[in-house]
Amino acid sequence: MELNDKIKFREELKLRLRKFVLELIKLCQEIPYSKESNIITKQLLRSGSSIYANYRAANRARSKAEFFSKLSIVVEEADETEMWLDILIHSEISNNPETIRLHKESLEILKIMASARKNTK
């Protein structure tokens, strides 16, 4: 992949992650309040927004080792985000089409980030 292609890919991925976080915020705003849903949505927003924040930090890394480290955090947070969406769906707190779509998107993001980390070694 040429440098311009890498830059374009990183910018597109950054926009995709920002959109994902904004969609998570909207989803969480629409979930009816309960003790359980409050805990899950807080955790979901923390892990989901951490994907975006740490991806941005990875792209500002000063070394390959730092990039790998930040990308490892992104993979962990993406996995956790997928888990919280899975819990929302299977607990039936929110098993609507939008939650299911975001769950599929979280799996895609996880695959992309895990592949990027693997290719960094």
Domains of the chain: 3-120 (1.20.1440.60)
pLDDT score at 1: 64
pLDDT score at 26: 98
Task: Report whether pLDDT(6) > 90.
Answer: no
CB 27 within 8 A of CB 55: no
Say which residue, 120 or 65, is predicted with more confidence.
65
Crossing angle between the packed helical segments 3-30 and 35-58, to the nearest 10 degrees:
170
Over residues 96-118, the pLDDT tens digits come to 999 999 999 999 999 999 999 99
CB 37 within 8 A of CB 93: yes
The pLDDT confidence band at residue 5, using thresholds 50, 70 and 90, is confident
pLDDT score at 120: 85
